[in-house]
Structure 1
Amino acid sequence: MYTAYGLLVDSELPLPELGQVRTPGRADVVVRRGAVEPPSATAVRLPRGLWADGDRIGIDVPGVARYVCERGTRITVEPVDGAAADAVRLFLLGSALGAVLTQRGLLVLHGNAFVVGDSCAVVLGRSGAGKSTLAAEMHRRGHVVLSDDVVPVDDAGRALPGWPRIKLWQDALDRLGLPSTGLRRVDDAFAKFHVPLERAAELAPVPVRWVYVLDRYDGPLRVVPVTGAAVFTSLHEHSYRNEILVGDLRSTHLARSAALARTARLSRIDRPRGIDSVAASADAILADIDREETQHAPSRTTRAVGA
């Protein structure tokens, strides 16, 4: 039995990335290997090999596996003959588990979360925006990283802790001065590694108070408040596998986004193009949080920060 995001996972497939439970209880999610029933004629075909068919979400990954997620409680995996086990797990613990969390009514964001005081900040961004590198920098500065890549937020506005690891490319490891020796690759096909994180104890869900979206532009690094309808647009854009947000899942996503918008402040981190701004971005985020803590109220103006 394994644990992830506060859930007990009973899996036929070995999942070394997840923590194991010594005194397991009743599983919240069951993972089984087997034949995946194809979508029905009335299924909604979605981009990137995804489909929605009633209470089932399907994920077809050519050359790897077919997955189907049902009612937020079961994942069936049908690996392609000869597919690497690491590749099968990569999509199982990413797209498939993310779909299950969405089916369970959580707001599942594509980013990372780190703890500041008794709350946490969530950092969002497109693939390749540097989210994980920034999370590693925050960890280096002594902040506990709750989760990387997938950040589920419950109906109370709390981020649920994932397993203690960050996935970093070789160039990010080099930038942070971390060796790749002894690290396990995410997939044998490319130089991206699982970087374990030390944690003193099991973590509880943490209230989300700040959300930052990483972006690029032609100008100095700055923090720009995001308000109104743009908040919902940003949360939808940076939801994990937002293609599956159709029907009831779309309605739940809007409700969870509205709840988070009432308790958390969203800002955009505009960073200069072509410049390594990981340390400066971390400085800007922590300064912004400290400023709000000092003022006890969010600022409504754009704040320029030296890159």
Structure 2
Amino acid sequence: MYSAYGLRLSSEIALPEVGGSLDGPGAADIEITLGTPAGPSASATLLPLGLWVDGDRIGVDVPDVGRYVCEGGTRIVVQPAPEVEAGVLKLFLLGTALGALMVQRGHLVLHGNAFRVGDACAVVVGHSGAGKSTLAAEMHRRGHDILSDDVVPIDADGRALPGWPRLKLWQDALDRLGIDSSGYDRIRGAHAKFHVPLDRPPLDPLPVRWIYVLDRHRGPLTITPLTGAAIFTSLHEHSYRKEILVGAHRQTHLARSAALAATVRPARLDRPRGMDSVVASADAILADIDQSLSGTPGKEHHATSH
């Protein structure tokens, strides 16, 4: 039995990435089993990236990896492809499949990471390659616990649910941060991206107070408050596997987005291209958080890149 996002997971696939096994009584909230699940029916909604929605099932078919079918927010059935690497199989299980299951459970699921600030947390979102995990590593270095990386489920009360204490970092990011990659597991085959475990105490769900949309551009580092429709656009754009937000899932997503938008301080962080801006980005975000805690209204400001 494992624990993730405040839930108990039973799995027929070993998941050491999630952390130590749980002891003690208690039924599983989520079951992960091996099997041969049925594919999409004739009435299913077929989506890009091998995704599909069929009633209370969400599936993803990954060539040469396998089929994953999420059922009713409580079960994931995995059919591995022949000779697939265990690490690759789990990459999609703990990412796309588990993220889809969180959508089925009624959560707003963002593509980013969350770090602790006192009794609350900040969420950083952005497209792949924007530098989210590298920034999370810098926040961790400064003493901020990382709740979750890559997949951030937010419940109906606006709380980010803690995942497992691990980051996924490319070799160049590790080099810039002064971290030796020897001894870390590669995420996928020959790819120079690694699972990096973090030293972190168990965490409860924490209310989201700040959201930063991370982007890169050619200008100086700036933080600009988001207002009005820009908030909803950003939440949708940076939802995890937003392709599955159809039908009832879309309605829940809109309701959760509206509730979250009313309680957070959202901003866009534009930073210069290049890894050397990570320190300045962390400085700017933490300064913006300090400003909000002091009660100063948010306004656009610039920072000098390190």
| TM-score, normalised by the number of residues in structure 1 | 0.97
Shift in Å, 1:128:
0.6
Q: CA deviation at 1:145?
A: 0.7
- 1:305 is matched with which residue: 297, 300, 303? 303
Residues 1:286 and 2:286 are matched in the alignment: yes
Structure 2: distance between partners of 1:166 and 1:298: 33
Structure 2 contact 87–188 (Cα < 8 Å) conserved: yes
Alignment correspondent of 1:57: 58
**Does residue 183 of the first structure (1) align with residue 181 of the second (2)?**
no
1:269 aligns with 269
Does the alignment pair 1:144 with 2:145? Answer: yes
Secondary structure (helix, strand or coil) at the match of 2:266 reads strand
Moved more, 227-236 or 212-221: 212-221
Which residues of 2 match residues 60-71 of structure 1 at below 5 A?
A: 60-71=61-72
For the pair 1:158 / 2:159, whether they are aligned, the reply is yes
Residue 52 of structure 1: SS of its match in structure 2? strand
- Alpha-carbon displacement from aligned partner over 1:269-295 (angstroms, at most 9, x marks no partner): 01123462100100000011111111x
The aligned counterpart of 1:104 is 105
Helix, strand or coil: the match of 1:240? coil
Aligned to 1:232: 232
1:189 Cα deviation after fit: 3.2
Query: Do the aligned residues in 2 keep the contact of 1:8 with 1:24 (CA within 8 Å)?
Result: no
Q: Distance in 1 between matches of 2:169 and 2:56?
A: 34
- Which residue type is aligned with residue 139 of structure 2? M
User: 2: CA distance between counterparts of 1:84 and 1:60?
Assistant: 16
Contact 2:176/2:275 (<8 A) preserved = no
| CA–CA distance in structure 2, aligned partners of residues 241 and 119 of structure 1 | 25
Q: Deviations over 1:34-55 (max 9, x none)?
A: 1020111111110000001111
Secondary structure of the equivalent of 2:280? helix
Q: Which amino acid aligns with 1:153?
A: I
**How many Å separate the matches in 2 of 1:230 and 1:270?**
15
Segments ≥4 residues shifted beyond 2 Å: 273-276
Q: Which residue of structure 2 lines up, in the alignment, with residue 209 of structure 1?
A: 209
**Aligned position for 1:22:** 23
Give the equivalent residue in structure 1 for 2:83. 82
CA shift for structure 1 position 297: 4.7
AA aligned opposite 2:51:
L
What SS does the corresponding residue of 2:192 show, helix, strand or coil? Answer: strand
Q: Residues 148-194 of structure 1: CA distance to partner in whole angstroms, max 9, x if unpaired? A: 11111111111111101111011110000000111111112311111
The separation in 2 between residues aligned to 1:24 and 1:163, in whole angstroms, is 21
- Find the counterpart in structure 1 of residue 9 from structure 2: 9
> Where does residue 114 of structure 2 map in the other structure?
113
Kindly indicate whether residue 193 of structure 2 is the aligned counterpart of residue 192 of structure 1: yes
Secondary structure of 1:137's counterpart equals helix
8 Å CA contact 1:209, 1:263 repeated in 2: yes
* Count of residue correspondences: 304
1:217 CA drift (Å): 2.1
- Measured after TM superposition, the shift of residue 85 of structure 1 is 0.8
CA contact (8 A) 1:216 1:272 kept: yes
Confirm or deny: 8 A CA contact 1:10 1:29 kept in the other structure: yes
Amino acid at match of 2:242: N
Distance in 2 separating the partners of 1:27 and 1:43 = 28
Q: Which amino acid aligns with 2:122?
A: A
Scaled by the length of structure 2, the TM-score of the pair is: 0.97
Distance 1:274 1:165, change over 3 A: closer
